[in-house]
Amino acid sequence: MKSRTFFRFWYGWVGLVAALIACEIREDKKMKYANAKFITSAARKDQFIQIDKPIIAVCGKSNVGKSSFINMLAGQNKLAKVSKEPGRTRLINYFDFGEFILADLPGYGFARVSKEEKLRWARLLDDFFADKSKITHVFSLADIRHEPTADDRQMIEYLYAEIIPFTVIATKSDKLSRAQIAKNLTVIASVFKCGKDNIIPTSAKSRAGFDEVYAKIYRIIKNGEEDV
């Protein structure tokens, strides 16, 4: 009886210390990227930044939560502009996270813009992806609540065809139950023809998925891991 109490006591302490270390590592990561900074916007090819750091592009349809996702990673509310109105981000916005750069790409699939504007966006994205040696990885965002759109599918097919490594970020997970999340991830994986382990459910609201995304970023920038 006495020895059981003794072990319980030590198990308790070991558990507590492990939890504190885990918390500290997480805080450290948050602190590190809390001073992420906006660098510049690009409307044309000649304005794309030339920098010797890994660039991770964040793409997805309009209103899917790209800017909110970037803010979640930075631990800041106003780094990237978030809007209820779709099609707000019309330029490529670059953010410096110290060890890597995030490029917030203009959202596709927004119906209420002129043909000319759509063409301009398409050209800008084409130019951006043309020099794929400059893109280390792509986070392709899809709303976890819905089946991916034809545009989403086209984006993923393009990444497969161009052999650009990507991870699917399923956004707005706070809007679904755990069971629904699991069900929808299966649908998204089957539409995109990728493994479920290449999809990370996230929420900019609850910060769910934060650690998983950073673990992925860590692998991308440290080990040069490339999954297509």
Residues found near Mg ion in the complex (CB under 5 A): 66-67, 89
From 2, 4, 84, 178, residue interacting with ligand GTP (rule: CB under 6 A): 84
DSSP 68-100: HHHHHHHT-SSSS---SSTT---SEEEEE-SS-
Residue (214 or 227) nearer to ligand GTP, CB: 214
- Cβ 13 to ligand GTP shortest distance, Å: 37
CA 30 from centre of chain: 16
From start to end of 118-191, where are the E strands?
137-143, 166-171
Residues 40, 42, 47, 51, CA torsion sign: positive
Q: Which does 165 bind (CB under 5 to 8 A by kind): ligand GTP, Mg ion, none?
A: none
From 36, 54, 55, 65, residue interacting with ligand GTP (rule: CB under 6 A): 65
At 146, is the secondary structure helix, strand, or coil? coil
From 67, 136, 140, 184, residue interacting with ligand GTP (rule: CB under 6 A): 67
Residue 109: HSE in the Cβ half-sphere, 13 Å Cα cutoff: 16
Q: Please give the structure tokens belonging to residue 43.
A: 């409307």
Which of 100, 122, 87 lies closest to 49 in space, CA to CA? 100
In total, the chain counts a number of residues equal to 228
- Cβ 63 to Mg ion shortest distance, Å: 8
Binding-residue pattern over the window 186 to 225 for ligand GTP, x denoting contact by CB under 6 A:
-----------------xxx--------------------
From 54, 57, 63, 194, residue interacting with ligand GTP (rule: CB under 6 A): 63
Q: For residues 122-181, which are near ligand GTP according to CB under 6 A?
A: 171-172, 174-175
Segment near ligand GTP (CB under 6 A); pick from 38-46, 77-85, 119-127, 176-184: 77-85
Would you say 178 and 38 are in contact if contact means Cβ atoms under 8 Å apart? no
- Give the footprint of ligand GTP on this chain (CB under 6 A): 60, 62-68, 82-84, 86-89, 107, 171-172, 174-175, 203-205
